[in-house]
Each structure stands twice: as structure tokens, then as C-alpha cells.
Amino acid sequence: MTTIHINTTTPKGTISRHIYGHFAEHLGQCIYGGLWVGEDSPIPNTQGIRTAALDALRRINIPNLRWPGGCFADEYHWRDGLGPRNQRRRMVNSHWGGVVEDNSFGTHEFMQLCELLDCEPYIAGNVGSGTVQEMQDWVEYLTCDGDSTLARERRANGRQAPWRLKYFGVGNENWGCGGNMTASEYATVYRRYQTYVRNYGENQIYKVACGSNDFRYEWTETLMREAGRHMHGLSLHYYTVTGTWAEKGSATHFVEQDWFTTLQKALRMDEIVRQHGAIMDKYDPEKKVGLIVDEWGTWFDVEPGTNPGFLYQQNTLRDALVAGVTLNIFNQHCDRVHMANLAQTVNVLQALLLTDGEEFLLTPTYHVFDLYKVHQDANRLETMVEGDAAYTHGDAAIPQLSVSASRATDGTVNVTLCNLAPANDVPVTLRLAGGGAAGSVSGRLVTAPTMQSHNTFAEPNQVTASSLTGLTQQEDTIVVTLPAKSVALVSIAG
Ligand code: AHR
């Protein structure tokens, strides 16, 4: 029997709701055909945005949305996306499929989308091919409440009041698609560009410097040493790639070895966050600078027959487990991880939503975000797993369970648990060490008949959330059996 001790007496910081953020790039059908269908579309829309997507994202309390890239950000020129839509400049989206980008979704459309979602915009500025002045002007155009020429231009384009813009990224992957710089080169460029990312009026920008990916620790070291005092956040990208970058593997056709490898690699997020965090601790022991994991998720081969540059992949129960495990890791490291963004919201990589014309579905990953939204802005509670069973495959083993816990403002203790083993249910005892919060208990569950289960437009409810049954409670102890290959939420009222 596995026992999970939950320390309810000494909360360990706040799990920022921004850990539950998302990312929408001008890539494939994330924006065009996904979120943005246009005001004249027969697809139900709200000011051009697909209404079904708005409703779904509001239900999971989307806290922020990163835009316009990704790699696209460092070739995006914001002025191209202003004015009458049919007169906007047409460019080639050279990173993603070589398609023509008509810029019909620009600054006003994005900020409108965030207002409709009631979420914080997180804009990535262009360092790779943009100028300091271009970046400075964008921030002024967005946020200046005075009588400057740029503020007047914004008003002439239909927006009177300045927008609130908190999160601003100074470039993206500048070690690669954002300009192929060395860490020292970028640190110098970052210091210069960020100087001109100004605060206008009441607006206070949280500046995010481009960070590293995976295990590239020297980038973090250099950035913290050479530019740490000029940033509020430092980004980190980590994708779960089952195979190699050349042959990543299918999203839906896989065997248990692939399931195991995928989860083993997803679990490495813990080590990556710890190692980058330890470097940051040397320069910032008070953990003021946030580690901003603004791209994470699974990356598989594209679905057969789709444009390789569009990164369209299906989403199975395996993706749900990757999401559950990763979000538990972020919760556990909420002292350093202040924000994260799953890549990407619609039709790209580990999407929450898939669309085809008017058709629309929620992926297994979406249902995990729905379960986990209870952690947003809650107090993290420490957990200790005793007698943790291992999930063994061949000669290798990983933990069978992943867990995190928090206490909401109404006193409810929420515990999210993943059972990584594809064939073994696991009985678990939750013990609230320190007492408290042993009111009524309820639970929800995401699981499905097979590892490969996924939702299609013909069968959109193969993987959904349902009630977690069989919970028994005695004072501060709850016993539950977690089904094989599942993600669960147990809520204990205060
Ligand atoms: O999310 C897809 C791409 O992955 C992004 O554009 C880039 O930043 C990363 O390499």
C-alpha cells in the first residue's frame, strides 16, 4: 500500500495561476482556422474568434496566452498587423510551412482575444530581425495613455484606452531561430533591448529574457551572470520527444515501450527545473527571477498527410499523463517556476483543442487542465510518498505515482495524482498530516480503455473526465484506488 502524507499545516508558497498558461503561434492552424475564423465566417464566432474555443478556454480559467511565437516572433513586424485587414502586408511564414501570412490577425485582434478570455497577454518581441525602436514602439503603442503619436495611432485604429500588458518576452530561442547568438552575445543584446521596454502610466512590464532549452545550463549561467539584474523572468523550453528529432514517433501508433520512454522523458522536467534553478539560486537566492517554462509538451511526428510545417498531431491518454506529471512538477517547484505555457493551444503539438472547419473537440490534455485548475493561486502543500510503487518496463523503472497538493482559499485540499503504469491499478492512502480539511471528499478522473485512446471528430468523447469513485474516508485519512494509466483529482473540503 502506498501512503501519501500531505502536510496541511505549513503551506510552501503559492502556485501561480500563470503556471497554467498557454501559447498560440502563427503556426499551422493554431491562429488561422483554429482560434481566428474571421467575422464573416459561418463558424460561430465572437468578433472573429471561434466561440467554442473561447468557451472552452474560459472554462479552464486560462490565465495567460503567449503570442505571436515561438520562432515566428523573431520575424514578426507588428506594424504589418494594423489597419484594414484586406490591406495588410502579406509575408511568407518561412519557419512554418512557407505559407503566406496575410496578417489579418494582429495586435488588436490578439489583445481583443485576451480580453474575451479575461487572461493576461504575454507578447514575445522581435529581437532576431527587429530593431530596438520597433520593440520600443510596440510597447508604447499598446500601453501609452498619453498623447503621443503612437497612442494617437492606436486610437485612430479603434482602441481608445491603453491595454494592460504585463508579460513581455525579449526574443525567443535566440540561440537558434531567434538569431543564432551565443549566450554572451544575447546577454548584451538583451540588456540593450530591454532598456527600451518602458513602463507607461500605471502599466508595469514583467520582462522575460530568452533562456535555455533542455540541459543547456551554460546559457542560464551566462544570462544570470551578465543580465540577471535586468530581468523579471528567464525562459526555458523543454519538449518531450519520444524518439529522436529526426524520428519522433507517432502520436497514436505506439507500444508500451514508447509509453514508458515518453513518461520517463517527461519526468526529466524535474531534473531540468532543479538544475536551472540551482544556477539561478547562485545569482538570485531570494528567487525573485521567475523560471518561465514558456514552451513545453509532447512533440510527435505530424499526422500522416498533413503539412510537415504545421506540426499537427493527435493527442492521446499518453499526452494526458505527460500533462499531469509536468504540472505536478511545476507545482512542486512553484517557488521558482512562476509561469509556464503549454505548446500549443489549438491544432499544434500538444494541443488542448483540435478543429477541422466547424468541427471542434477537446483533447485528453484539455481535461487534465480542467482537473488541475483548482491549483491556480492556491497554497502549495508538501507531499511525501511512502512505499511508492515503481513502474518497471524491461530493465528500467520510473515512479508509478506523481502527485502534488494545494489548499484553495475556501480551505479545500486538492490532490492531483497520476498513475503512470498502463496495466496496474494502485491503492493509495492519503493522510492529512496536521489534520484539518477532512470534510466531504470527491474526485474526478481522466482515463480511457487503452494507452492510445484519443478523441476524434466522429468520437469526441473517448477520453473525458468522469467521477472518481470508490473513495473512502475516515477522519483525516482517505483511501482510493487509482486506475491504471490515469490522472485524478481528489478534493477534500475544509
Ligand atoms: O512550438 C514550436 C516551436 O518550437 C517554436 O516556434 C519554437 O520556439 C520552438 O522551437
**What's the gap in Å between 72 CA and the centre of ligand 1?**
8
Give pLDDT, residue 270: 98
Atom of ligand 1 nearest to the CA of 71: 6
CA distance 114 to 130: 24
Which residues share a beta bridge with 121? 65
For ligand 1, atom 7, name the residue with the nearest CA: 70
Give pLDDT, residue 387: 87
**What's the gap in Å between 70 CA and the centre of ligand 1?**
5
Of the candidates 173, 221, 303, 359, the residue annotated as catalytic is 173
Estimate to the nearest angstrom the gap between the alpha carbon of 411 and the chain centroid. Answer: 26
CA distance 67 to 124: 6
For ligand 1, atom 6, name the residue with the nearest CA: 70
**What's the gap in Å between 351 CA and the centre of ligand 1?**
14
Atom of ligand 1 nearest to the CA of 344: 1
Cα-Cα-Cα-Cα dihedral sign, residues 34, 40, 44, 45: positive
> Residues with Cβ within 6 A of ligand 1?
25, 69-71, 172-173, 295, 343-344, 349
Which residues share a beta bridge with 407? 379, 413
CA distance 415 to 383: 9
**What's the gap in Å between 27 CA and the centre of ligand 1?**
9
Q: Is 173 a catalytic residue?
A: yes
**What's the gap in Å between 313 CA and the centre of ligand 1?**
15
Q: pTM of whole model > 0.95?
A: yes
**What's the gap in Å between 177 CA and the centre of ligand 1?**
9
Q: Is 295 a catalytic residue?
A: yes
Give pLDDT, residue 437: 57
Atom of ligand 1 nearest to the CA of 25: 6
For 130, the grid coordinates are: 527587429
Per-residue pLDDT of the chain (494 residues; tens, 9 = 90+): 899 999 998 889 999 999 999 999 999 999 999 999 999 999 999 999 999 999 999 999 999 999 999 999 999 999 999 999 999 999 999 999 999 999 999 999 999 999 999 999 999 999 999 999 999 999 999 999 999 999 999 999 999 999 999 999 999 999 999 999 999 999 999 999 999 999 999 999 999 999 999 999 999 999 999 999 999 999 999 999 999 999 999 999 999 999 999 999 999 999 999 999 999 999 999 999 999 999 999 999 999 999 999 999 999 999 999 999 999 999 999 999 999 999 999 999 999 999 999 999 999 999 999 999 999 999 999 999 998 689 999 999 999 999 999 999 999 999 999 999 999 999 999 999 876 656 799 999 999 999 999 999 999 999 999 999 999 998 889 999 999 999 999 999 98
Atom of ligand 1 nearest to the CA of 23: 1
Which residues share a beta bridge with 120? 64
Of 317, 333, 494, nearest in space to 420 by CA: 317
For 374, the grid coordinates are: 483548482
Which residues share a beta bridge with 479? 429, 472
Ligand 1: which of 71, 208, 214 to mutate, judged by most atoms within 8 Å of the beta carbon? 71
Give pLDDT, residue 433: 86
Of 314, 321, 286, 242, nearest in space to 488 by CA: 321
* Maximum separation of any 2 CA atoms in the chain, in Å: 68
For ligand 1, atom 5, name the residue with the nearest CA: 70
For ligand 1, atom 3, name the residue with the nearest CA: 70
Atom of ligand 1 nearest to the CA of 176: 10
CB 199 within 8 A of CB 162: no
Of the candidates 295, 386, 459, 475, the residue annotated as catalytic is 295
Of 483, 484, 238, 462, nearest in space to 367 by CA: 462
Who contacts 13 (Cβ-Cβ below 8 Å, separation ≥6)? 334, 335, 379, 380
Ligand 1: which of 22, 23, 25 to mutate, judged by most atoms within 8 Å of the beta carbon? 25
Return the exposure string of 450-485: e unless at least 16 CB atoms fall within 10 Å of the residue's CB, then b.
Answer: ebbbbbeeeeeebbbbeebeebeeeebebbbebbbb
**What's the gap in Å between 71 CA and the centre of ligand 1?**
6
DSSP 32: B
C-alpha dihedral (65, 67, 71, 77), degrees to nearest 10: -170
